[in-house]
Structure 1
Amino acid sequence: MSVRLLGKYSYALALSLWLVASFIIGQSLASLIIFHLPINANETVVTTILAALGYVLALLFAIIGPALLNRRITPRSVLGIDRLPSWSDIGLGITALLPYFVLSAVILYLGMEVFTIIDPDVGQDIPFKNLNLRIEYLVAFVTLVIMAPLAEELLFRGYYLGKLGKKIGRWLAVFVSALLFGFMHLIAPTESGIVLQWGAAADTFALGVTVGILRALTKSIWAGVILHAIKNGIAYYFLFINPSPPTGM
């Protein structure tokens, strides 16, 4: 292996570890801050504040931290935010919903029927449970459908894929970023211990591939943000608005 190639993969590994560390540090600091403040609010509102603060701190560590050390700001073009969203981004995001569903279904089928590592009874753990008040439904919607897609696309398809693509090529970067995105949704700490959410990881890998391709083709994160928001919006509907499976099926 040449020194140049070794340097590329070393950079990819270091960037991946930095992104994971930034996310963990951001969430940990947010938890410390929230639970040491005299906030008098219900669990759903606190969860939303925690998620928002965690995303902000993760973005600060991942993007602004290296900029302060290197005294070099990451260009908006690398982050995929050098222009505003357009109607074509909305159209592409909606159109890409079908390829994402197909890819996710294929991967989930292989995971359940061929490799037998996915348990269909183990779903993705989410921080919102037992919603009752309108404000709780609203803040859960804002967190899952607006804030999470925007923050995750900026981190993974903006900063991470943009930086990685300049070193190892955009298409390999799409695949690697999707792998890391899936890995970040694999491990879930619960009250009974650590749970491996293989189904959630497979689905988010499929989403990562789809939005990564959109990022590579459009040189922007906005089409991916639209697709991610629609996907989370559908999940929100079936989790909180109409959670009961249809009868007669």
Structure 2
Amino acid sequence: MLALVVASAGPRSAALISLAVAAPTVIAAGLAVFITMRRGNGPRTDLRMGGTWRDVRLGLVFGLGGLVVSVAASMLYASITGPDANSALYKVFGDVRASWPWAVAVFIVVVFVGPLCEEILYRGLLWGALERRWGQWVALVVSTAVFALAHFEFTRAPLLLVIAVPIALARLYSGGLWASIAAHQVTNSLPGLVLMLILTGTMPAS
């Protein structure tokens, strides 16, 4: 939402929009980690961040599967909605152009920083609270729904639900957060790459 406000406020730059995109989620995730350190048992326990390389490998598998599913679902969605199929992120950056260093910075935000922070919030903090009270399946369903709706792209919510399911399954079957982080990062890799190429003018925006 902040990014949309910034994008409509006047002249846009990749740096300013990247900051607007990343800042709210980074701050919220940082606050979640801080709270677990001060009031709880720490992020390794409360957010299930004490993972292993097996968790990462499992996340990569779910992420690759999810990437295939998300591409197919996106194509179906685009065939139904037509020219309005682009995500809010593409609309926010619009016709902005950037140098390669800034385009790479945007790629890092979209593929690495954003997924890390979102997973801390949705499948770390929220999942943990729901699981303790109602069990892991309620945690999976509710956190997935909240994740889809929290992007404030309500017409794309069904597509976001489809994209989120493999990420949530990575969290479920691993029992930890690093699998879902890895899955989310793989899922975001293709959109991040496309956006980077668009920003540099290497690929047309449409």
Q: What is the TM-score with the length of structure 1 in the denominator?
A: 0.63
Provide structure 2 residue ranges, at least 5 long, that are not aligned to the other structure.
none
Q: Equivalent residue of 1:165, what SS?
A: helix
Report what 2:125 is aligned to: 159
**Matching of residue 229 in structure 1 with residue 185 in structure 2:** yes
CA distance in 1, matches of 2:97, 2:72: 33
Report what 2:46 is aligned to: 78
Report what 2:93 is aligned to: 128
CA distance in 1, matches of 2:172, 2:148: 18
Whose helix fraction is larger, Structure 1's or Structure 2's?
2
Please point out which of 148, 159, 169 is paired with 1:203. Answer: 159
| CA contact 1:80–1:215 (8 Å) conserved in 2 | no
**What letter is aligned with 1:43?**
S
**What letter is aligned with 1:59?**
A
Please point out which of 169, 179, 197 is paired with 2:145. Answer: 179
**What letter is aligned with 1:197?**
T
| Structure (1 or 2) with the larger CA radius of gyration | 1
How far is 1:131 from its partner?
2.5
How far is 1:102 from its partner?
6.0
| CA contact 1:104–1:202 (8 Å) conserved in 2 | no
| CA contact 2:63–2:182 (8 Å) conserved in 1 | no
The size of the alignment, in residue pairs, is 191
| Root mean square deviation of aligned Cα | 3.5
Q: Equivalent residue of 2:166, what SS?
A: helix
Q: Equivalent residue of 1:144, what SS?
A: helix
Provide structure 1 residue ranges, at least 5 long, that are not aligned to the other structure.
1-23, 36-41, 188-195
Please point out which of 148, 153, 157 is paired with 2:114. Answer: 148
**CA, structure 1 residues 239+111, in 2 after alignment: closer, same or farther (shift >3 Å)?**
closer
